[in-house]
Amino acid sequence: MRRVKLSFARGLEVEFADRGRAIKQVEDFAEGGTRYPIVVFGPEGCGKTAWLKQSVEVLRGYGYDAIYIDPLHKKFIAYTDVEDVVKRLANATAEVIGVAEVKLATLAIDVVKELIGVWRRKYVAILVDEVFQVIGIDKAEMYVKSLLNLVEYPPEGYEKIVVIAATSEGLSRIEIGRHRWSEIMPIWNMTSEGFKELYAEIPNPKPPLEDAWKMTGGNPDILAKLINSNWDSNEVIEKMVEGRKLRSFIASLSIHERKWLLEAVEDPDTLFMRERMPLLNKLVELNLIVDDIPERKQYLWIDEPPPERNLELGIGRHVAWQTPIHREAVKRVME
């Protein structure tokens, strides 16, 4: 299997690293198809995009006409010999900003319908990346229903279809989970072994592996941000504070909420109680925390689940900070 090359940090490309179990799961999907759309959620920057791009390669190897769409960044990969499909996707990316993103999101479903109905393709896959940021969380459940219709009500018969959508939007999980229209599966940051494999591709000078692990918690995007800032973690933290408007957010909290937030910096599971749920939901909305984490049974997860608890990395049994940097940004403002 060819490992895809990924644009990583400034002026640096890396090969897809690790995620061995996640790739095996895609191979299982390829062999049996997906009965429901697989909606994968996890911390932003944890490697969902890299996994989807590598998954397209896997599905291509199994003889699928495979379409990958990233409407947020106006990108696509189309492994099909139907030139009209490729041309229409390319034309959509050339549309003006604000139009192209939504057009790609809807076109992804349309071209798969055509591959099945017009071109009589028997093995078809559609992989959609961060589409809910483009169409809006309020439309997430209907988009998933449209993906389900590809599986249940195709224009013509097919032999196998694979449908996967990935999101880091915590609230979209709530919207989608209201109906049994998909199978929702979490993915976490890289394991220590996988992160070690990726870190080996990073040129020197660089901090010791253990230091990078403690700062990132295995999150590739935070690693890339550290590289771009010349390993200045303060710069990365301050940009997160400004980008999430954490000062105004924390200033808006009540005295009790600030106390609870301080406790959550030490142990995020302290948020998992009735009176603290509104604060927890705000942190999920800001993409700082992942809540209601499933049991660490492998069949519930894409790739390897996180540890049961690791407070050094900000991981609790039910709630976890997306990365140590996310936690540090909140802590910095609280101080």
- Condensed to tens digits (0 to 9), the pLDDT of residues 1-26 reads 789 999 999 999 999 998 999 999 99
For the chain, give the percent of residues with pLDDT over 90: 87
318 Cβ contact partners less than 8 Å away, ≥ 6 residues apart: 269, 272, 291, 292, 293
Least confident of 41-45, 173-177, 277-281, 321-325: 173-177
Interatomic CA distance for residues 164 and 147, integer angstroms: 9
Q: Is the pLDDT of residue 179 over 80?
A: no
Interatomic CA distance for residues 276 and 284, integer angstroms: 13
Interatomic CA distance for residues 203 and 26, integer angstroms: 31
At 139, the pLDDT band (50, 70, 90 cuts) reads confident
Least confident of 17-21, 162-166, 175-179: 175-179
Give me 3's structure tokens: 């490992």
- Condensed to tens digits (0 to 9), the pLDDT of residues 54-82 reads 999 999 999 999 999 999 999 999 999 99
pLDDT at 97: 83
Place of tokens 């590289």: 227
Contact predicate 320/269, CB 8 Å: no
Output the CA angle 324-330-335, nearest 5 degrees. 120
User: Can you give the residue ranges of every domain in the chain?
Assistant: 19-186, 232-294+305-334
Q: How many other C-beta atoms can be found within 10 angstroms of the C-beta atom of residue 278?
A: 9
Give me 161's structure tokens: 């279809």
- Condensed to tens digits (0 to 9), the pLDDT of residues 85-117 reads 999 999 999 888 888 899 999 999 999 999 999
> What's the chain's average pLDDT?
94
Contact predicate 180/151, CB 8 Å: no
Average pLDDT over residues 190-219: 96
Average pLDDT over residues 249-259: 97
Q: Is the pLDDT of residue 287 over 70?
A: yes
Interatomic CA distance for residues 276 and 335, integer angstroms: 21
- Condensed to tens digits (0 to 9), the pLDDT of residues 302-327 reads 999 999 999 999 999 999 999 999 99
Q: Is the pLDDT of residue 240 over 80?
A: yes
Q: Is the pLDDT of residue 33 over 80?
A: yes
Place of tokens 């209907």: 142
Interatomic CA distance for residues 100 and 135, integer angstroms: 11
At 176, the pLDDT band (50, 70, 90 cuts) reads confident
Average pLDDT over residues 141-149: 93
Under CATH, which number does the domain 19-186 receive? Answer: 3.40.50.300
| Closest among 17, 19, 20 to 6, alpha carbons compared | 17
Least confident of 49-53, 96-100, 231-235, 325-329: 96-100
pLDDT at 259: 98
pLDDT at 170: 65
Q: Is the pLDDT of residue 289 over 90?
A: yes
3-state secondary structure the chain: CCCCEEECCCCCEEECCCCHHHHHHHHHHHHHCCCCCEEEECCCCCCHHHHHHHHHHHHHHCCCEEEEEEHHHCEEEEECCCHHHHHHHHHHHCCCCCCHHHHHHHHHHHHHHHHHHCCCCCEEEEEEECHHHHHCHHHHHHHHHHHHHHHHCCCCCCCEEEEEEEECCHHHHHHHCCCCCCEEEECCCCCHHHHHHHHCCCCCCCCCHHHHHHHHCCCHHHHHHHHHCCCCHHHHHHHHHHHCCHHHHHHCCCHHHHHHHHHHHHCHHHHCCHHHHHHHHHHHHCCCEECCCCCCCHHHCCCCCCCCCECCCCECCCCEECCHHHHHHHHHHHC
pLDDT at 169: 67
Interatomic CA distance for residues 2 and 145, integer angstroms: 33
Average pLDDT over residues 115-137: 93
27 or 18: whose pLDDT is higher? 27
Average pLDDT over residues 37-55: 95
Q: How many other C-beta atoms can be found within 10 angstroms of the C-beta atom of residue 26?
A: 25
